[in-house]
A and B are shown apart, each in its own frame.
Chain A
């Protein structure tokens, strides 16, 4: 499974230095279209992998923060086409591998025939599609893989053991281990059973495991860190950006 090697490697290398790798999420074009690339570079300077969110009108897996940032981006006319063209034309691009996080419909509208090539040319190494379960993903996955672009799979605390294995067998880039049932952005206490779940997931996974949904504090990162290869910070980072604070400083403050 070599698709998404670059992502897996970046996470492994960061992990080898001690703490979990930092995977940062931003909504493209939020808070403003202008300065998207500069913000991306700032975020990437303090993280190992960056997820770029493609805004969608109906983000059903997301909590209020990402709903808000998505709406603000859409109101400024941010689209997948705009994101890819900004990335392709950027004078300076981060060294950290970039993934696009998008609901399926904007990808379908762009066209699965054109998308993989355009994404690869823009420097995208992987996709995360929260409303595309394994059973429905073969067309997109095949198309992306032709250009070496990975499709990340999710696992959740309610995924049965036999399905965890199937998802891990299909894993590319990293396994997106959801910390809890629910939408993004809620605070999680991280009880022992969640740690046990990550320990089991780590055993089954063939690519690095990253924990996401509700990661907002250094305490959480320290508690989950030993059980995973990386942590995904999304809503908390978007809120920092929304308040006009320094995203890189916030990401560094989460490091162990």
Chain B
């Protein structure tokens, strides 16, 4: 159950990672992961596991999934040479454009895959949680596409700061349930979705949006999101003839990061860098950087690194980006951090916003504030390591962030004309 992380044999675990040994049959990524849920959900998770075993690598299911990815999501997404940023940063910068995927972020890869799985499993309705609203919009769209009723739980604070996405979900036919319990953000939304699922574990499919939660969710999300890294790896080889020196992604729960990193994990010469939300400082409650500042514990079904106090109470987090505002991280990231295969750092609010502005000006691309953490981390890396080939996962577009940007970057702008 509980492992003392300091006793891990990093070399042996790294070898196991290279050997695709994780998750093991108990849903473990080394000491992390597992399945910490109320007894009511155990049969539902067992059925989900059976469905995963039956469908997730089944050629017919994959053909259907990839047909949706190609004709409806708009994959493959492009790999863009960021000429302006390259020049400014003294590097060769490439952007994997998940902002161009349908509904504006990588979240759709997972949602369409899971809703397809829900249909195969005979579910009658789909529920989802959302932070920034991107997973909610993606799930609402996937449910509309495949003819499933959809309910999305969203913290009331997030509903305010991501208002445009609330309207989109409603237009796409979803019921949006405001969550006023707990911290009123992503973590409270996950708690409420779990409570809904506990009430109807047989008829409801819980479409979890990040690489968190009880097994097999971290595995499902990795499998469905790995399309990002597979495409990017192939595109790097086709467009530059080489792999990148480093691949960089932002990490909240960690779905886009695991999707980008996973296909590169065995490429030992490719460094991997994850950027967490550093918020306004390194104190408890000032950030959402669970790997940088967290300790091991169990939250929402999985054993991972958490922002908690000495009594095991989960701490409220802060980030300018709703999508990274979560006090835990996917168990596979906790493992990759522990063995050092992926390096994780924090980027603060201001640096993320500055990188957002720079990307707009230099590339004509408005990135999500989440993705801007990766851009800021890439800039920092480029300054310290000149001339490197850098692949950045641009996980989503920033249109949804306009309410926040009006209050931050644009607060001194005078409107009118």
Chain A residues proximal to chain B, CB less than 8 Å: 56-61, 63-64, 67, 74, 79-81, 103-110, 112, 130-133, 135-140, 153-156, 158-160, 163, 167, 178, 181-183
Is there contact, CB below 8 Å, between B312 and A108?
yes
Q: Please determine whether B300 and A58 come into contact, CB atoms closer than 8 angstroms.
A: yes
Q: Which residues of B contact A156 (CB under 8 A)?
A: 39-40
A178 touches B40 (CB 8 A): yes
- Centre residue among A56, A135, A158 by max chain B CB count within 10 A: A158
Q: Across the interface, name the chain B residue whose C-beta is closest to A142.
A: B1
Cβ–Cβ contact A131 & B181, under 8 A: no
Bound state CA distance, A183 and B200, in angstroms? 11
**Given A80, A112, A183, which contacts B311 in the complex, CB threshold below 8 Å?**
A80
28 residue pairs from A and B, CB less than 8 Å apart: A56-B312, A56-B313, A57-B313, A58-B300, A79-B313, A80-B312, A105-B306, A109-B297, A110-B311, A131-B37, A131-B38, A133-B42, A135-B26, A136-B35, A139-B1, A140-B1, A153-B39, A154-B38, A154-B39, A155-B39, A158-B44, A158-B201, A158-B202, A159-B39, A163-B42, A178-B39, A182-B40, A183-B198
Place the interface of chain B in its size category: 35 or more
With A and B bound together, what is the CA distance between A249 and B245 in angstroms? 71
Given A81-B311, A110-B312, A138-B1, decide whether A132 and B198 contact each other with a Cβ distance below 8 A.
no
Query: Shortest beta-carbon distance, A57 to chain B, in Å?
Result: 4
Judge if B34 is at the interface, Cβ distance under 8 Å: yes
Assembly CA distance A199 to B42 (angstroms):
22
Tell me whether B51 is interfacial, beta carbon within 8 Å. Answer: no
CB < 8 Å: which of A130, A160, A181 contacts B200?
A181
CB distance A60 to B191 under 8 Å? Answer: yes
B194: chain A residues at CB < 8 Å are: 60
Q: Which residues of B are found within 8 Å of A63, using beta-carbon distances?
A: 195
Q: Which residue of B lies closest to A59 (CB)?
A: B191
Given B26, B37, B199, B314, which contacts A58 in the complex, CB threshold below 8 Å? B314
Please state if B195 and A132 are interface contacts (CB–CB under 8 Å): no
Q: Does B36 belong to the interface (CB within 8 Å)?
A: yes
> Please, which residues of chain B bring their CB within 8 A of the CB of A137?
1
Minimum C-beta distance from B299 to chain A (A): 6
A59→B191 CA distance, assembly (Å): 8
Q: Closest CB-CB distance, A120 to chain B, in whole Å?
A: 20
B191 — which chain A residues lie within 8 A by C-beta? 58-60
In this assembly, does B77 line the interface, its C-beta being within 8 Å of a C-beta of chain A?
no
B182 at the interface (CB under 8 A from A): yes
Does the CB pair A158–B43 fall under 8 Å? yes
Asked if B301 is at the interface (CB within 8 A of a chain A CB), the reply is: yes
Tell me the minimal C-beta distance from A162 to chain B in angstroms: 11
B198 touches A131 (CB 8 A): no
Instruction: Tell me the nearest residue of chain B to A60, going by C-beta.
Output: B194
List 18 other contacts, CB 8 Å, given A80-B312, A135-B26: A57-B182, A57-B313, A58-B299, A67-B181, A67-B182, A79-B313, A104-B36, A108-B2, A108-B298, A108-B312, A109-B310, A109-B311, A131-B37, A135-B42, A137-B1, A138-B1, A158-B201, A182-B40
Q: Which residues of B contact A (CB under 8 A)?
A: 1-2, 26, 34-40, 42-44, 181-182, 187, 191, 194-195, 198-202, 296-301, 306, 308, 310-314
Contact B198 A182 (CB under 8 A): yes
The chain B residue sitting closest to A139, CB to CB, is: B1
Residue on B nearest A64 in the bound complex, by CB: B181
> Is the Cβ of B1 less than 8 Å from the Cβ of A136?
yes
Measured in the bound complex, the distance between the Cα atoms of B34 and A181 in whole Å is 22
The residue of chain B having its C-beta at the shortest distance from the C-beta of A186 within the complex is B199
Q: How far is the CB of B213 from chain A (nearest CB, A)?
A: 11
Whether the Cβ atoms of A107 and B35 lie closer than 8 Å is no
**Inter-chain contact A131/B36, CB cutoff 8 Å:** yes
Shortest distance from the beta carbon of A63 to any chain B beta carbon, whole Å: 8
Chain A residues with Cβ below 8 Å from B34 are 136
A113→B214 CA distance, assembly (Å): 25
Q: B residues within 8 A CB of A56?
A: 312-313
Cβ–Cβ < 8 Å partners of B300 in chain A = 58, 60
State the Cβ distance, A27 to closest chain B Cβ, in Å. 14
Q: Please, which residues of chain A bring their CB within 8 A of the CB of B39? A: 133, 153-156, 159, 167, 178
Q: Which residues of B contact A81 (CB under 8 A)?
A: 311
* Cα(A131)–Cα(B37), bound, Å: 4
8 closest pairs, A vs B, by CB? A109-B312, A154-B39, A106-B312, A182-B199, A139-B1, A105-B312, A79-B311, A61-B38
Quote the shortest CB–CB distance from B142 to chain A (angstroms). Answer: 25
CA distance A218 to B379 in the complex (A): 67
